[in-house]
Amino acid sequence: MKRQAVGAIIAQAVQALIGLLIQILVARLLGIDDYGRFAILYGVVILATAVVTGLVGDSLVVLDRSQRTVRAGLEAMLLASSVVLGVAAFLVAWGTGFSSALEALLFAVALAAFSIEEIVRRLLIAHMSFIRAAITDVSGFVVAFGVILAAQLTGILTLSFFLAAIAAGQVVASVVGWFLVPKNDRVLVSLRGADIAAVWRYGVWRGLQQVLRPSLFTTVRLLSLAAAGITAVGLLEAARTYTSPLILVIGGLSSFLFVRFADQRRGGGATNSVREADRAVVFLLAGTVVMSVIAVVLIPWASPLAFGVEVDPLAVVAWLAYGLSVAIVTPYGALGAVGGKQIAVFLIRLSDTVLAVLIAVVMLMLDAPVSALPFGLAFASMLGGLALRWLVVASTGPRHPES
């Protein structure tokens, strides 16, 4: 189990590192203007992929995909969501004049390819094959980097080539990942009789939940911009990026716990899951404290190296406090979601997100420094974690998720 948990962290780290490398390549090779446009497009891709992950990826982990109708429903939902999101992305990017027709088309293809690769990746994660998931991501990056390098050497590299390279890499990664999935789960069925309703009833709430944290961060950025200007936003974001390895570790363990709790529920071991979630919280809190101390000590040396300026220590401590709150939320949210309480989990997370925004507004009205805002987010998130624990302890609902 420890090896699997470490594998989950490695897979999360590899995926994050690849995303960072792609953005660095764009900034270095195309310049800051094209990087600004790419960052917006890439952010939309990541958000859309997160929605598909919640809608289809979490559903395939929790629902019984060995049933033909459920498996057909998962396939149909992946196809529909990829097409709808891709078409919408093309129309918005092209219709608003943000991108040329070619760029918008390649953007849409890349978005759909990301969605499909992520679901193949989730199939591997469902088997606790985290290292294979990392191999899948690396194979896609190697292909994308090869296309980018070839275009750069021939002097034809543009933003369109970058989008095409990413799309090509994700297609190859999907194929590689598919052949790494265990043979008994490497099955496609006809869409006849697809139980789309079961997938939708479970997955829509998970998909909506994936939007909450990015929306919260965007709102906080806008509030900070209005209250203190763009420099304050930049410093706050630098501090958040500096503490991102902590959230990276928690995110990796979240994937591991979600699959483990789902397996336990199918195997009839749900009664022990609350105690395991408690142990996971204690472990995460202890690890977070240790990582936080290291992060604070290294501020004078590490932050100038990464950002060219020393990040605000108060903002770093505040984001670390937010990381502590995420450590409390994650295990109980995963346990509640696999236990058929995905609607309640979403409503609790929505409530603590709204509360976090209100707290941020009040703090700014009281002239609190922007760097202290993550303390307010942490307080709201911690309340959400306590509510989620109450939910999983008090729950007397059905043993299997809604379907």
Model pLDDT, residue 269: 56
Residue 317, token pair as written in the block: 């401590």
Tens of pLDDT, residues 205-236: 988 988 898 889 888 888 988 888 878 888 88
Q: Residue 397: is its pLDDT beyond 60?
A: no
Predicted TM-score of the model (pTM): 0.79
**Ramachandran bin of 26, using left for φ above 0, alpha for ψ from -120 to 50, beta for the remaining angles:** alpha
The answer for residues whose C-beta is within 8 angstroms of residue 147's C-beta and 6 or more apart is 161, 164, 165, 168, 169
Which comes out higher in pLDDT, residue 160 or 248? 160
Residues 6 or more apart whose CB falls under 8 angstroms from that of 252 comprise: 5, 8, 9, 10, 11, 12, 13, 130
Distance (Å, rounded) from C-alpha 59 to C-alpha 227?
A: 41
213 and 354 Cβ atoms separated by less than 8 Å: no
Percent of the chain whose pLDDT exceeds 90? 41
d(CA 253, CA 77): 26
Which residues fall within 8 angstroms of residue 96, CB to CB, at 6 or more apart?
none
Q: Is the pLDDT of residue 190 over 80?
A: yes
Q: Cβ atoms within 10 A of the Cβ of 18, count?
A: 20
CB atoms within 10 A of CB 317: 20
Spatial contact of 261 and 335, defined as CB atoms under 8 Å apart = yes
Tens of pLDDT, residues 147-180: 999 989 988 888 889 899 999 999 999 999 999 9
State the Cα–Cα distance between residues 143 and 315, nearest whole angstrom.
Answer: 38
**Tell me, what's the pLDDT at 272?**
65
- Binned at pLDDT 50, 70 and 90, residue 398 comes out as very low
Determine phi and psi for 372, rounding to 5 degrees.
-95, -10
Confidence category of residue 25, pLDDT binned at 50, 70, 90? confident
Q: Which of 27-41, 195-209, 336-350 has the lowest mean pLDDT?
A: 27-41
